[in-house]
Structure 1
Amino acid sequence: MKNLERYRRSIKSEALSSVLLLICTISALCIANSSYEGIYNKIIFDNLFFRFPLNEFINDFLMFFFFLNVGLEIKENILYGNLSSIKKASFPVIGSIGGVIVPAIIFFIFNFRTDYINGFCIPISTDIAFAVGIFYIFKNHINPQARLFLLTLAVVDDLISILVIAIFFTQDI
């Protein structure tokens, strides 16, 4: 009974975080394309509240928890879940490779010969976050097999993204 209640709380928090992800994304897009862009940049990139910019707090502290969560999810799926055998993992792995390559190619097309070309890891990581976020919002209307596939796809996509970040954006692995 305790496990069932813990599972229900987990689903509710995942749905809430999905809604917050969508709200924050829409808000950021609206602010970035409005006359408030300067205020937003001042809040995010200047030392207003802390002794360091807010974006550094997000990148260096909050992203730690994100990657810890992803790492634990990957470990669980490798040991007990859909990545525990090659037969179970092959289809989502192939889909994940496509889910990494296609956004990276689109990013390269739009940012070729710009200063932003080094940001190609952003679309290979964030696309699945939105897919899983939308999944949790509409989870009651999605087939359980599709849920299993999407969550496995998300885990493998995150694993590939972490490997790409480790290879291209660190000096030592």
Structure 2
Amino acid sequence: MTAWAAHVTVATVVEKDGKFLFVEEYSEGITHTVFNQPAGHVECGESIIQAAVRETMEETGHAVEVDALLGIYTYTPPMFPDRTYFRFCFLAHVLEYFPEAELDQGIIGPKWMTLDELQETARARSPLVIKAVKDALAGQKYPLSLIYEHQNSPLISNLDA
């Protein structure tokens, strides 16, 4: 039996003119492309907010500023019962778009859609994708001050001690 593993991930929900920023991508174990929020794993030495900003840029070419914590979500995919993802999801807004940015491997590109358009595709990567958009539309948000990240690493900057 494989040992259980926790994965710390981040995602951003970015809304503009009634549409949300999604990423069309390939996903492990799935034969067709799926839609996800810009999302990924936290890397060694970075804060979860830094990870959210980095992942959004790497997957969409959009530089963003994080505004609030949308929520903390967990998910254990049925095809991988030995993995649980702890997803810190943030609300963010676009600062600038770099259409020529090189995107991460496996990413087809960014796509702006409404919640209805996303649901019509039936290709949300996980139930968390739709849940996060619904929470954003409901006005759910928490101040970033709710998060405290102790600064042990010189790589983590811009955090209050």
TM range (shorter): under 0.3
Larger helix share, 1 or 2: 1
Rg (Cα) greater in structure = 1
Larger strand share, 1 or 2: 2
TM-score, normalised on structure 1?
0.25
TM-score, normalised on structure 2?
0.26
